Amino acid sequence: MKLELGNIHVRDLAFGPVSEVKENTVVIEQQALLNHLCELDHRIRSIELSIAKPGDSIRIMPVKDAIEPRVKVNGGGDIFPGRHLGEEAMVGEGRTHVLKGMAVITTGEVVGFQEGILDMSGPGAEYTPFSSTMNLVIQCEVDDSCNQYDHEGVLRLVGLEAGRWIGKLAADVEPDEIQTYETKPLLEQAAEYPNLPKVGYVYMLQSQGLLHDSYYYGVDVKGMLPTLMYPTEVMDGAIISGNCVSACDKNTSYVHQNSPVIYDLYRHHGSKYNFMGVIVTNENVTLRDKERSSNFVVKLAKQMGWDAAIVSEEGFGNPDADLMMNCAKLEAAGIQTVLLTDEYAGQNGESQSLADSHESANAVVTNGNANQLVTLPAMDKVIGHDRYADMVAGGFQGSLHEDGSITVEIQAILSATSELGYHHLTTKAS
């Protein structure tokens, strides 16, 4: 598949009388978008739209998801394929326009306790990449007839449909730059660079149920077996988030669209290695399911002739077992493996970092200790509900102070320790 991404760099975001993208500014006519979103589900009680820009004294919480507005210009189906929006065509080829530097952020009453905080300024902003984007914030409240699963589903649909609606404004805009990515059918791809090592990516998705779900072409991945996919499909929204895992390592839909692992693998494709493609797999609850999925991962990696693999996880604790199982079996098959994870090493950094380990896991990239403690000063404006500070993962009784400041682990900050590396943390020499 060959995909062209036409990036339109968003420099400003505003409400106005006509929805358009003009001179790198996205203008949204509020009532038109509100009318569209409110018609999506009769259980929507209210929707409010706000704008949050870098440097604003704004706190958004609890955050459900982040979505980058994009639109298919030609080739393939619509953005975000699957049952959510009624599109069943394949994506990953043709041309897609991207409103680069903008995000749709969804918030509202808490769905699950593992939802996050996004500060647009102050020390909290340093931990999240979404403090640097122009954000359209959608606060959506649903009626009491919704259980937690319905609640999550409604907000997921609202966020994706808003991203698609806004993306369409850029369909006829000339991009600032066009980037091209291509992965050929297996036999062609293998023959293209015969002297380079064949490298692939094992993409682990959160799928443990109980509001811990991800979707591939609209299918809840907890019920699927590992499968092959073109990397460009990810860029076109084939994978979306539907989970409420800890905010720090939740892969939002935006992070999937911009997976730095995939983009970086393409960057050195043809020079350092031959990037063969992606195996998408799930994270399971039972030992039997973990064994089955990891067996399929290794079978597919061998079938594709990989010499090396990168494996990333989503979440922590139970998924650490899936991570290590994939690693051990890939290494046993002669496929050199690098793992991407984060750590839960306690606030003092002295606790066991991962819930599982294996001697073959000798090449591990950490994306930070999620238990690190931080105090976030009060903001002038809160979009959503800060009263949940004491209950979100990373918070505790007394996290929310009377002056509006919050003391939490960075576990509560959106994308603070993203296991795909989409964050601001790095290492430094002591």
Name the residues annotated as catalytic.
244
Q: CB of 254 within 8 A of CB of 103?
A: yes
Beta partners for residue 141, in sequence order: 46
Distance of CA 59 to the CA centre of its chain: 20
- Where do the DSSP E strands lie in 183-313? 198-205, 214-216, 219-220, 227-229, 239-241, 274-282, 308-312
Block residue for tokens 């080829």? 93
Radius of gyration of the chain (CA): 21
Cα dihedral 77, 83, 86, 89 in deg (nearest 10): 20
CA-based angle 375:251:260, to the nearest 5? 105
CA-based angle 424:417:232, to the nearest 5? 80
Q: CB of 382 within 8 A of CB of 124?
A: no
Q: What is the DSSP string of 87-146?
A: B-S--SSEEEEEEETEEEEEE-S-SSS--EEEESSSGGGGG-GGGSSEEEEEEEEE-TT-
Q: Cα dist. 410→156, 248, 340, 365, 390 in Å?
A: 24, 7, 18, 18, 13
DSSP for residue 221? G
Q: Is 213 exposed, middle or buried (0-12, 13-18, 19+ CB in 10 A)?
A: buried
Q: What is the C-alpha to C-alpha distance for residues 265 and 372, in angstroms, rounded to an integer?
A: 30
